[in-house]
Amino acid sequence: MKNEMKQSSVRQMIIEKKKKNGSTMMIEKAVPAILLLTAVISVLTTVGILFTLIFETVTFFSRVPFLDFVTGTKWLPFIEAKGNYGVLPLITGTLLIAGIAMIVAVPIGLATAIFLSEYASDRTRRIVKPILEVLAGVPTIVYGFFALTFVTPLLQKIIPDLSIFNALSPGIVVGIMIIPMIASLSEDAMSSVPNSMREGALALGSTKFEVAIKVVLPAALSGIIASFVLGISRAIGETMIVTVAGGSSPVMSFDVTQSIQTMTAYIVQVTTGDAGYGTTIYYSIYAVGMTLFVFTLLMNLLAQYISRRFREEY
């Protein structure tokens, strides 16, 4: 009797397992197809964006010579009859903002990463990191109004000649915005350095600061430099802060006290209705967008190269 009950229960378990295996197999077959579909959608979206940029940019260069675009020092699409489409003033404004942002973000972000990785207790780290994440989640339009209504008046007390729209204020605020990115990525790179290296340096008589600067920092250099490059890429592509606080004067100048215009700010200016569809000015935003795309692509490729070239294996 007991043997029959055992056989019956075993048979029932086998039947139930087959049913479960059937549904599991269906899920196992469906999941790769779903994942492949999402991957294909991502690739097709990227290809579509790139195709749109290339197609419209070619239309622009059929009207404006390529050499005039890349070497021209005047960007006056709205003023003159034919317009001047030299992109260098927009590139200068963009690089000026990115340069100021990195001067602000690199030392503060790196110092924050060193503190979180080498000095902060677990409790302090649990408090500081969420604050940094909140800072990263603030909308950029809020940063823009913060630059215009708070930072600029504050700077005008120090620099009386500073105009209401300038490069210095948005550059500083863009730097504040990318601090969480640099700090987080650098801290991750430093935290991945084995503790045995720290302990060995401490055993040799090094101070905690010397360990952080002379041991941990060089060991995590690839990740730290990659975070800097990605920060520059983020600063180059910033839109709303420079649109609100930077002005709309495309001049080829490195004077941080005067109004400037970046590539992203020009795109916003045109897309708000300043140009009709099919005009040269309309197609110019795609040429500027392609220039911006090339800049950010090169920055990302540089970050990947640095990560591979200087990566330390432990």
Give a yes or no: residue 159 inside a domain.
yes
List, for residues 140-193, the tens digit of each pLDDT value. 888 988 988 898 989 888 888 888 888 889 999 999 999 988 988 888 888 888
What's the confidence (pLDDT) of residue 116? 87
Rounded CA-CA distance 80/185 in Å is 46
Cβ-based burial of 213 (10 A; exposed 0-12, middle 13-18, buried ≥19)? middle
Rounded CA-CA distance 143/94 in Å is 17
User: Are 116 and 183 within 8 A, CB to CB?
Assistant: yes
DSSP SS3 for 84? strand
Domain of residue 256 covers: 71-309
Give a yes or no: residue 305 inside a domain.
yes
What's the confidence (pLDDT) of residue 9? 64
Rounded CA-CA distance 286/292 in Å is 10
Residue 58 has which token pair?
A: 């070619």
Q: Indicate the residue among 62, 87, 106 that finishes a domain.
A: 62
Rounded CA-CA distance 228/143 in Å is 21
Check whether residue 122 and residue 28 sit in a common domain: no
Number of domains forming the structure of the chain: 2
User: Are 104 and 119 within 8 A, CB to CB?
Assistant: no
What's the confidence (pLDDT) of residue 68? 82
Check whether residue 49 and residue 14 sit in a common domain: yes
List, for residues 26-74, the tens digit of each pLDDT value. 776 777 888 888 888 988 888 888 888 888 888 888 888 888 888 888 8
Check whether residue 277 and residue 167 sit in a common domain: yes
What's the confidence (pLDDT) of residue 16? 61
Taking the alpha carbons of 286, 291, 297, 299 in that order, is the dihedral positive or negative? negative
Per-residue pLDDT at 22 exceeds 60: no
Check whether residue 57 and residue 186 sit in a common domain: no
Per-residue pLDDT at 212 exceeds 80: yes
Scan for tokens 């749109």, then name that residue.
Answer: 52
Per-residue pLDDT at 2 exceeds 50: no
Cβ-based burial of 309 (10 A; exposed 0-12, middle 13-18, buried ≥19)? exposed
Q: What angle do CA 284, 288, 293 make, to 5 degrees?
A: 140
Check whether residue 37 and residue 80 sit in a common domain: no
Check whether residue 34 and residue 166 sit in a common domain: no
User: Are 143 and 177 within 8 A, CB to CB?
Assistant: yes
List, for residues 184-205, the tens digit of each pLDDT value. 888 888 888 888 888 888 888 8
Q: Indicate the residue among 10, 33, 62 that finishes a domain.
A: 62
pTM over 0.85: no
Q: What angle do CA 76, 147, 139 make, to 5 degrees?
A: 95
User: Are 275 and 282 within 8 A, CB to CB?
Assistant: yes
Q: Indicate the residue among 62, 83, 100 that finishes a domain.
A: 62
| CATH code of the domain covering residue 184 | 1.10.3720.10
What's the confidence (pLDDT) of residue 254? 83
More confident residue, 7 or 184: 184
* Encoded amino acid at 311, one letter: R
Give a yes or no: residue 207 inside a domain.
yes
List, for residues 242-265, the tens digit of each pLDDT value. 888 888 888 888 888 888 888 888
Residue 137: enclosing H or E segment and its boundaries? none
Residues above pLDDT 70, as percent of the chain: 87
* pLDDT class of 100 with cuts at 50, 70, 90: very high
Give a yes or no: residue 314 inside a domain.
no
What's the confidence (pLDDT) of residue 108? 92
List, for residues 108-137, the tens digit of each pLDDT value. 999 998 888 888 888 888 888 888 878 878
Per-residue pLDDT at 274 exceeds 70: no
Check whether residue 26 and residue 77 sit in a common domain: no
> Can you list the pairs that 285-288 forms with residues at least 24 positions away whose Cβ atoms lie under 8 Å?
286/52, 286/53, 286/56, 286/57, 286/59, 286/60, 287/56, 287/57, 287/60, 287/61, 287/64, 287/69, 287/85, 287/87, 288/87, 288/90, 288/263
More confident residue, 172 or 313: 172
Check whether residue 215 and residue 293 sit in a common domain: yes
